[in-house]
Structure 1
Amino acid sequence: MKPLAILGGTFDPVHVGHLNAAWEAAELLDAEVHLMPASVPPHRPPPAASVEQRVAMLRAALAGQDRLGLDLRELERAGPSYTVDTLAELRAEHGDRPLVLLMGADAFAGLPTWHRWERLFELAHLGVFARPGFQFSLPTELEAAVSGRLADTGGDWRNQPTGRVLQLEVTPLEISATRIRHLLASGRSPRYLLPDRMFDMPGLLAAYRSDPG
């Protein structure tokens, strides 16, 4: 069975940077990849778009391909979207299937601020997006936790359900959802930053027309 990788986020809005990273992770890991929108993100302000709007944007962005999927479980669960709770739920569902939590290098460096972060290594592998040649610079607490866990994507990590840290060298795309929201709020078009299908459905972007947050 292929590994299952999860890319979480507010996706406010989802953009081609998210999709490219998820697509390349699917190739590098030979994995099934699901995008998982957060309901109440513990580390950031609430999304500008509603749950319904974000789901509609994700469905439009993912249409017409069969490599990337969508998992809405965090939107269906009350309270903050703690990753540790989501991974525990997935682990109970998938048994010994390898799970990979995907994240950017900045998020990985801030892992000690996450709720029950040490338990993440017991529930999944961690796949960290980085530019080619990137070297991790980690706080001491995280450096100790990562020691001995680094693994190559072509190695034998698939034989273990959890516990390894995989550095994923993906194409660097400097695209920010914040920047896209500002463009839309100022009346400009973020063409080529968002999937084409989102422009075919103008109502999807209505939430950002007057909100530069």
Structure 2
Amino acid sequence: MTGSDAVPAGSAARPRRIGMMGGSFDPVHVAHVALAETALRHLALDEVRWIPVGQAWQKARQLAPGADRLAMVQAAIAHEPRFVLDDCEVRREGPSYTIDTVRALQSRWPEAEWAMIIGQDQYANLPTWHGWEELLDRVTLAVACRGDAQPQAPAALQQRAHRAVRLPLPPYHVSSTDIRSRLAQGVAPSTLVPALVPEPVARYIATHQLYAAGAPR
């Protein structure tokens, strides 16, 4: 289900709680899925919207095509009906600014409560984001932390009121960078299952020969 046709159902008891999980997902991996599942439980979310970036203005390297990244995310999340693939940033022209996405989503569902799922590294770099001050006013930040660590706000955020909650990070040691490197070295996608990528994602990578030597990394 994509963001263009998924309509959250209303709730008489409380406002609908929606999590947003953005990223390049190049490729999506098991830690992404585990984190989103943790967010569903820990924050009592009604859904998590997965939002693959279109033009990643803070990344120098070339990403895999948006259509492939969307397809991999769809394959990874098909098991959970509360996960929704949202293609708004891939469809939107120009740099993918999170604030533009948040504005658009909140205009569609103004009564919902919104949580943005991020890692500690993103939390630390948030003051470099376009429109970050407005972003703080619009969403609760759900910051993924390892072990017993607590979210560490950078100086600019310490001086500005905002809502932040700790999200326990599942104990996975996996990164998209490492996965791309392995595949470029000729490792078969099937060998990355189940430790690094979901099996449907590995099948897609193999079928479309993504991340092979000479492909964008």
Note the C-alpha offset of 1:46. 4.6
Is structure 2 residue 207 aligned with structure 1 residue 203? yes
Gaps of 5+ in 2: 1-10
Note the C-alpha offset of 1:207. 2.2
C-alpha separation between the residues in 1 aligned to 2:148 and 2:101?
Answer: 31
Mapping 1:52-131, distance limit 5 Å? 52-131=67-146
1:148-175 Cα distance to aligned partner (Å, 9 max, x none): x4xxxxxxxxxxxxxx211111313121
C-alpha separation between the residues in 2 aligned to 1:41 and 1:16?
Answer: 22
Match of 2:185 in 1: 186
2:113 partner amino acid: P
Note the C-alpha offset of 1:187. 0.8
Runs of 4+ in 1 over 3 A off after TM superposition: none
C-alpha separation between the residues in 1 aligned to 2:212 and 2:120?
Answer: 31
Where 2:91 maps in the other structure, the secondary structure is: coil
1:11 touches 1:37 (CA, 8 Å); kept in 2?
yes
C-alpha separation between the residues in 2 aligned to 1:47 and 1:130?
Answer: 28
1:100 touches 1:124 (CA, 8 Å); kept in 2?
yes
Gaps of 5+ in 1: 150-163
C-alpha separation between the residues in 1 aligned to 2:216 and 2:100?
Answer: 32
CA distance 1:124–1:136, change in 2 (3 Å): closer
TM-score when scaled to structure 1?
0.86
Q: Given the alignment, which residue of 14, 23, 27 partners 2:37? A: 23
Note the C-alpha offset of 1:65. 2.6
C-alpha separation between the residues in 2 aligned to 1:22 and 1:47?
Answer: 25
Residue correspondences, number: 196
TM-score when scaled to structure 2?
0.84
Match of 1:154 in 2: none
C-alpha separation between the residues in 2 aligned to 1:73 and 1:64?
Answer: 22
Match of 2:52 in 1: 37
C-alpha separation between the residues in 1 aligned to 2:153 and 2:115?
Answer: 20
Where 1:203 maps in the other structure, the secondary structure is: helix
Where 2:157 maps in the other structure, the secondary structure is: helix
Q: Share of identical aligned residues, percent?
A: 34
C-alpha separation between the residues in 1 aligned to 2:112 and 2:153?
Answer: 28
Where 1:207 maps in the other structure, the secondary structure is: coil
My pick for the range that moved more, 36-45 or 178-187, is 36-45
1:130 touches 1:169 (CA, 8 Å); kept in 2?
yes
C-alpha separation between the residues in 1 aligned to 2:88 and 2:98?
Answer: 11
Considering only aligned residues, what root-mean-square deviation do their CA atoms show, in Å? 1.6
